C-alpha cells in the first residue's frame, strides 16, 4: 500500500499534462474566436481586445447558416432513425432466438470494419444515378448505415443486461404490456439508448469523408465540409477568426448535451457496452 | 415499440416438425400462421439489414466490379473493361508501398494515444472519487466533441512556425506541418488529441467491469499496489485493451483523414499520404475510379486479414473474468 509522494507526484504530473494537451487547444479555439483581426496573431492566450465580430460575421453569411441547418437536420434525423432501427435489431439479437441469428449479426457488425473510403466512389455513383447526390437523404442514408453497427453493438450489450423478468412481474401485478414497457423497461434501457444516440450523433455531426464527397453545394453541405471551404478561397480575407467562431458554435451544443447526460453516459458505458 | 409480445423464446425446432406435417389437411397450423409465428425476429432485423445491404454491401460489390474498369467518374463517358489492368498499375506504383508503410507508422504512432496514455490516466483517476473524477473525464473527453476540421484550424495556429504556441513553449522555430520529417508526427499528435478522451472512457468502463474481489484477494495475500496492477488488473483488462488496439489498427487512417485534408493535403512531398488519403486522391483528385476501386479492394481485403488475425490473437491473450 505504500505509495511514495514521489510516485504520486509523477502520476499527478501525467494527469496534468494530459489535461493540458486535451484542453488547451479547445480553449485556444474559444480564445481565437473572441480576438480581433489585428490581435489574432499576437500569441496571447487571453485576448487583449475582446470582440464578437467573428460571431456576427458567421451569422451574417449563408456560407455558415445553411450548413448549420443542414448539419442539425441531417444529424438529428440520421440519429433518430439509426437508434430506432438499432433498438429493433438489438432487441431481436438480445432477446429472441431464431435460425440464422449468428449470420445476421455477422452481416450487421462486420461492416464496422470496412474502410469507409473504399465505398465512397461507388456511393457517389449510386447517388448520382438515383439523384440523391447533394441532397439530405444522400447523407442521411449512409450515416444511418454506417452508424448502425455501432448502434446495434452498444444497444444489444445494454439490452442483454436488462432484467427482463421485471416486465413479466409487472404484468403479473396487473400492468398492461404498454405500462410494463414504458414504466419498467424503458427507464432501464434509457442510459443505453442515450449513450448510443450521443455516439451516433457525434459520428454524424463530425463526419468529414462523406460530407465532402457526397455534397457539392449548400443544399446539403454540412458544417465540417463548409469549414474546410472557409480555409480556402472565400469572402473572408483571414478566415481563422471566423473558423474558430464557427467551431465554437458547433461544439457548444454537443458539449452541453454530453455534460447534461454525462452521468447517464458513463453509467451506460460502464454497465456493459464495452465489457470484453 | 418493443412490447412484450415475444417475451417467450419460441422453440423453433420442435414447432418446425409440426410444420412439416402441415401438408395434411388436419394440420393444426396453416402456413400463414406459421409465418406469423416465425417471422417476428426477422421483422425486427429486416430494416437494418436492408439498409446495410443496399448502402454498404452493394457498393462493396460495385467496388469489385469497378476495379476492373477504366473510368473517370463522369456518367457520360464510357467505362472501358481493363481486366486486372488497374491492379497491375496499382502494384506497379512505388506510391502504394510508401503509403502502406506510412499507414503502419500512423497506426504504431497512435497506439500510445489510444492504449498507453488512456490506461495510465484511467488507473490514476480510478483512485479519485466523486465529482472530481467526472469533471476530469469530461475535460479529457472534450476534444472528441470538437469536429476534426475545427480542431485542425486551431492546431494550425498552435503549430504556426512564427507565432505558434508550440514553438514558443519548446523554444524552437520548426515549421511542423510543412517539413517532411515532422508533418507525419504532427498529424499523429493531433489525431491522438482527438481520440485520447474516448479511449480513456473506454478503459474506465473496462476497469469498472472488473470484479474488485480479485484485487482485494491479492492484497490480502500481501501483493503491493503495483503488483496488483501488473498481475491482476491489467490481465483482466486485456479484452478492453485488445478492443482498443483493434480499433486503432482499423480506424487510425480514417481518423487522420480530415486533418490531412485540411492541414497538409498529403504533403509535403507526400510525407503524410497514407493509404486512406491515397485512395481518396485516386478517386476524387485524379478521378481515376478504376484505380481507386482496385486500391479499395486491396485495402478492404488487407483489413479483413489484419482484423481476423487480431481478433484471433485477442481471444488467445484475453483472460476472462468469468
Chain B hits for A87, Cβ within 8 Å:
1-2
**Residue B8: its pLDDT value, please?**
38
Question: Which domain range does residue B141 map to?
Answer: 92-317
For residues A118 and A208, membership in a common domain is answered with yes
For residues B300 and B176, membership in a common domain is answered with yes
Task: Tell me the shortest Cα–Cα distance from A51 to chain B, in angstroms.
Answer: 18
Please tell me what DSSP assigns to residue B78.
P
**Residue A76: its pLDDT value, please?**
92
Q: What is the pLDDT of residues B190-245, one digit of tens each?
A: 999 999 888 888 888 888 778 888 888 888 888 888 888 888 888 888 888 888 88
Identify the burial level of B57 via C-beta atoms within 10 angstroms of its C-beta, where 0-12 means exposed, 13-18 middle and 19 or more buried: middle
For residues A183 and A104, membership in a common domain is answered with yes
Chain B hits for A270, Cβ within 8 Å:
204-205, 208-209
- Distance between CA atoms of residues B255 and B109, nearest Å: 13
Chain A hits for B58, Cβ within 8 Å:
122, 126
Looking at the structure of chain B, the number of domains it has is: 2
Is the residue at A276 inside a domain? no
**Residue B23: its pLDDT value, please?**
45
Strand partners, B80: B70
Is the residue at B22 inside a domain? yes
CB contact under 8 A, B44 and A88: yes
- Distance between CA atoms of residues B59 and B283, nearest Å: 14
* Most A CBs within 10 Å, among B14, B38, B49, B52, to test the A interface: B52
For residues A32 and A71, membership in a common domain is answered with no
Please tell me the pTM assigned to this model.
0.82
Strand partners, A50: A35
Rounding to the nearest 10 degrees, give the CA dihedral for residues A235, B154, B252, B50.
-50
**Residue B191: its pLDDT value, please?**
94
Is the residue at B76 inside a domain? no
- Distance between CA atoms of residues B116 and B245, nearest Å: 10
Which residue is it, cell 502502406? B100
Chain B hits for A113, Cβ within 8 Å:
250, 303-304, 307
For residues A43 and A95, membership in a common domain is answered with no
Nearest-by-CA chain A residue for B288? A121
Q: Which of A228, A254, A274 sits opposite B206 (nearest CB)?
A: A274
Q: Within 13 Å, how many C-alpha atoms sit on residue A82's CB side?
A: 35
For residues A148 and A201, membership in a common domain is answered with yes
Positions in chain A whose pLDDT score sits under 70? 1-4, 43, 231-238, 260-276
For residues B142 and B12, membership in a common domain is answered with no
Nearest-by-CA chain B residue for A18? B140
Task: Tell me the shortest Cα–Cα distance from A119 to chain B, in angstroms.
Answer: 6
Task: Tell me the shortest Cα–Cα distance from B27 to chain A, in angstroms.
Answer: 23
For residues A107 and A173, membership in a common domain is answered with yes
Which residue is it, cell 491522438? B192
ipTM higher than threshold 0.90: no
For residues A47 and A67, membership in a common domain is answered with no
Looking at the structure of chain A, the number of domains it has is: 2
Of chain B, the end-to-end C-alpha distance in Å amounts to 34
CB contact under 8 A, A119 and B63: yes
The three cell numbers locating residue A124: 457517389
Question: Which domain range does residue A2 map to?
Answer: 1-51
For residues A172 and A107, membership in a common domain is answered with yes
Q: Which of B138, B219, B293 sits opposite A259 (nearest CB)?
A: B138
Nearest-by-CA chain B residue for A143? B55
Q: Which of A128, A144, A276 sits opposite B239 (nearest CB)?
A: A276
For residues B168 and B300, membership in a common domain is answered with yes
**Residue A32: its pLDDT value, please?**
85
**Residue A36: its pLDDT value, please?**
81
Please tell me what DSSP assigns to residue A131.
T
Is the residue at B145 inside a domain? yes
Positions in chain B whose pLDDT score sits under 70? 1-29, 129-130, 317-322
Task: Tell me the shortest Cα–Cα distance from A268 to chain B, in angstroms.
Answer: 9
**Residue A263: its pLDDT value, please?**
63
Amino acid at each position: 500500500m505504500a505509495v511514495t509522494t514521489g510516485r504520486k507526484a509523477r502520476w499527478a504530473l501525467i494527469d496534468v499534462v494530459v489535461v493540458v494537451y486535451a484542453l488547451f487547444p479547445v480553449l485556444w479555439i474559444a480564445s481565437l474566436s473572441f480576438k480581433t483581426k489585428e490581435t489574432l496573431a499576437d500569441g496571447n492566450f487571453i485576448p487583449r481586445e475582446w470582440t464578437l465580430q467573428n460571431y456576427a460575421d458567421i451569422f451574417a453569411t449563408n456560407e455558415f447558416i445553411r450548413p448549420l441547418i443542414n448539419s442539425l437536420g441531417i444529424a438529428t434525423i440520421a440519429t433518430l432513425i439509426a437508434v430506432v432501427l438499432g433498438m429493433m435489431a438489438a432487441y431481436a439479437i438480445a432477446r429472441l432466438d431464431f435460425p440464422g441469428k449468428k449470420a445476421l449479426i455477422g452481416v450487421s457488425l462486420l461492416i464496422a470494419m470496412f474502410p469507409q473510403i473504399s465505398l465512397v466512389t461507388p456511393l457517389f455513383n449510386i447517388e448520382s444515378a438515383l439523384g440523391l447526390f447533394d441532397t439530405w437523404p444522400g447523407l442521411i442514408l449512409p450515416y444511418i448505415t454506417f452508424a448502425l453497427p455501432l448502434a446495434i453493438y452498444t444497444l444489444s450489450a445494454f439490452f442483454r443486461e436488462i432484467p427482463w423478468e421485471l416486465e413479466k412481474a409487472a404484468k403479473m401485478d396487473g400492468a398492461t404490456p404498454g405500462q410494463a414497457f414504458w414504466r419498467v423497461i424503458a427507464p432501464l434501457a434509457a442510459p443505453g439508448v442515450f449513450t448510443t444516440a450521443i455516439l451516433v450523433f457525434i459520428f454524424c455531426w463530425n463526419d468529414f469523408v462523406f460530407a465532402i464527397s457526397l455534397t457539392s453545394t449548400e443544399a446539403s453541405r454540412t458544417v465540417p465540409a463548409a469549414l474546410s471551404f472557409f480555409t480556402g478561397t472565400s469572402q473572408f480575407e483571414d478566415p481563422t477568426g471566423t473558423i474558430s467562431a464557427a467551431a465554437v458554435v458547433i461544439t457548444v451544443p454537443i458539449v452541453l448535451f454530453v455534460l447534461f447526460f454525462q452521468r447517464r453516459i458513463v453509467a451506460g458505458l460502464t454497465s456493459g457496452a464495452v465489457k470484453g | 415499440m418493443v412490447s412484450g409480445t415475444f417475451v417467450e423464446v419460441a422453440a423453433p425446432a420442435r414447432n418446425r416438425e409440426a410444420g412439416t406435417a402441415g401438408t395434411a389437411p388436419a394440420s393444426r397450423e396453416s402456413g400463414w400462421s406459421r409465418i406469423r409465428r416465425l417471422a417476428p425476429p426477422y421483422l425486427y432485423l429486416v430494416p437494418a439489414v436492408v439498409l446495410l445491404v443496399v448502402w454498404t454491401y452493394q457498393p462493396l460489390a460495385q467496388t469489385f466490379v469497378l476495379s476492373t474498369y477504366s473510368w473517370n467518374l463522369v456518367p457520360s463517358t464510357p467505362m472501358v473493361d481493363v481486366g486486372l489492368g488497374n491492379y497491375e498499375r496499382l502494384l506497379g506504383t512505388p506510391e502504394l508501398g510508401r503509403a502502406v508503410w506510412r499507414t503502419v507508422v500512423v497506426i504504431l504512432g497512435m497506439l500510445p494515444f489510444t492504449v498507453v496514455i488512456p490506461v495510465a490516466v484511467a488507473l490514476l483517476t480510478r483512485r479519485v472519487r466523486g465529482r472530481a473524477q467526472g469533471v476530469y473525464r469530461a475535460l479529457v473527453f472534450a476534444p472528441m466533441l470538437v469536429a476534426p476540421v475545427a480542431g485542425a484550424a486551431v492546431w494550425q495556429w498552435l503549430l504556426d512556425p512564427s507565432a505558434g504556441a508550440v514553438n514558443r513553449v519548446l523554444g524552437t522555430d520548426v515549421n511542423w506541418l510543412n517539413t517532411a520529417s515532422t508533418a507525419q508526427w504532427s498529424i499523429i499528435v493531433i489525431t491522438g488529441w482527438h481520440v485520447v478522451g474516448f479511449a480513456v472512457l473506454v478503459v474506465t468502463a473496462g476497469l469498472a467491469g472488473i470484479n474488485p474481489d480479485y484485487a482485494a484477494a491479492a492484497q490480502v495475500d500481501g501483493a503491493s499496489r503495483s503488483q496488483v496492477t501488473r498481475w491482476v488488473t491489467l490481465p483482466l483488462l486485456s479484452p478492453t485493451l485488445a478492443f482498443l488496439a483493434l480499433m486503432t489498427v482499423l480506424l487510425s487512417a480514417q481518423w487522420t483523414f480530415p486533418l490531412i485534408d485540411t492541414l497538409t493535403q498529403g504533403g509535403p512531398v507526400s510525407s503524410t499520404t497514407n493509404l486512406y488519403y491515397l485512395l481518396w486522391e485516386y478517386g476524387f483528385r485524379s478521378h481515376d475510379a478504376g484505380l481507386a476501386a482496385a486500391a479499395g479492394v486491396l485495402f478492404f481485403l488487407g483489413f479483413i486479414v489484419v482484423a481476423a488475425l487480431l481478433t484471433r490473437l485477442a481471444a488467445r491473450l484475453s483472460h476472462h473474468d468469468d
